Amino acid sequence: MINSPPTPEPGILPTPGPNCPAVKRVPTDGALFLAGDRAREGGHKVLAGSAARRASPPVAVFGASGFVGRALVPRLGADGVRVRAVARDLARARGVLPPTVELARADLSTGEGLDRAVYGVESAYYLIVSFGAAGRHGFAASDREAARRFVEACDRSGVRRIIYLGGLGDEDRPLSEHLTSRREVARILGSGSAELTQIRAAMIVGAGGASFEMAAQLVERLPVMVLPRWVETRSQPIALRDAVEYLAGVGRLPHTAGRSFDAGGPEVLRYWEVLLRIGERLGRVPRLITVPVLTPSLSAHWVGFITEVDSATARPLVDGLTSEAVVRDDTLRGLLPFRRTAFDAAVDLALAERSTGTARRARLRWRRFPRGLGGGPLRLLPRSGRTP
């Protein structure tokens, strides 16, 4: 049963519905924009008259202004889906999303705006991860608290379905803290009344993605890299556009509700191969050397020193590289068959987007290589990322 609409805060436009008449006055802060007639503010459509009541229920996208969200929103729109893009920073969302999309502000760290954001929604995408915002008890606790607030709001509003982008990892081996947290978030999202669809993916290759930027900027800035032994770990990177295609696709298929799927690209690569293949596309193949002792914590500090990915964000990413991330169940490919993007092509697309300024372009900054990163026997890796 869907509850009555929440009482709006001063200056906030509530969502019209059977218990809330259409509001003719546009709020000055633009906390909630709804696709309607021709009234506009800031280039985004604003509710006018009864257009919203005639429209189909919106699909909410939480994390809409993030790396995956800003690609998913227009893809859903191309399918004719009425999207409500939910973000904490509306100014940022306006800058990266299509001008016709509905915008709603909500803060999962406090719960502010959540009830308004999911009111009248039947399906919601959850693309939230707490990298770089660890809070008092660490990123895993922040992830859990955000997921619980989200589920509680969905239950209050009668949301029927949640689609979640999780992390791919070998369940038969101990998982990193990062992947353990992603599993815990999935469990929490599935604990409410809404049916959960989870897509588990490894590195998503696209401009602005933390994992890709970390790898690309290391290659750009270091002609020689000293790396830990876990660069031998296998992974199955996926192009951003393929991940988005899967996310949009499961939303079209009701029978995917209540199920989990693995998603990956067409190639399985070791992490050192990822670095070399990126180097080939950039035209600057680095020399890679492995050492037996280089902890994830020390590696994260090194990444934070060399790249624009800060240490707090790099730590769970680096930690996650110690877990194999390869598709075990290929069911999703059968449900949504399309030609997947090859790794090299995915890298080319990401680099092209960086060069056009759609995502922030990495600034080349050569720095002195830090000393004391490891000891013991060194092993020189091949100069080619092509597996024989």
Reported as a pLDDT band with limits 50, 70 and 90, residue 383 is low
- Rounded-to-integer distance, Cα 280 and Cα 225, Å: 15
- Rounded-to-integer distance, Cα 50 and Cα 86, Å: 22
pLDDT at residue 218 tops 90: no
295-343: pLDDT as tens digits = 656 666 666 667 676 666 666 666 667 778 899 999 999 999 999 999 9
Widest CA span in the chain: 73
Here the tokens at position 202 are: 């490894």
Average per-residue pLDDT for the chain: 77
Q: How many CB atoms lie within 10 A of CB 125?
A: 29
Q: 64 or 377: which carries more pLDDT confidence? A: 64
Query: What residue ranges define each of the domains in the chain, with the CATH number in brackets?
Result: 129-380 (3.40.50.720)
- Rounded-to-integer distance, Cα 108 and Cα 69, Å: 16
The angle subtended at Cα 96 by Cα 277 and Cα 29, nearest 5°, is: 155
Between 32-41, 65-74, 365-374, the lowest mean confidence (pLDDT) is in 365-374
- Rounded-to-integer distance, Cα 138 and Cα 249, Å: 33
Between 32-46, 178-192, 249-263, the lowest mean confidence (pLDDT) is in 32-46
118-151: pLDDT as tens digits = 999 999 999 998 755 544 457 778 889 999 999 9
- Rounded-to-integer distance, Cα 201 and Cα 263, Å: 5
Reported as a pLDDT band with limits 50, 70 and 90, residue 55 is low
Following CA atoms 54, 254, 81, 95 in sequence, which dihedral angle do they give, to the nearest 10 degrees? 130
pLDDT at residue 258 tops 90: yes
Reported as a pLDDT band with limits 50, 70 and 90, residue 97 is very high
Taking the whole predicted model, whether its pTM rises above 0.85 is answered as no
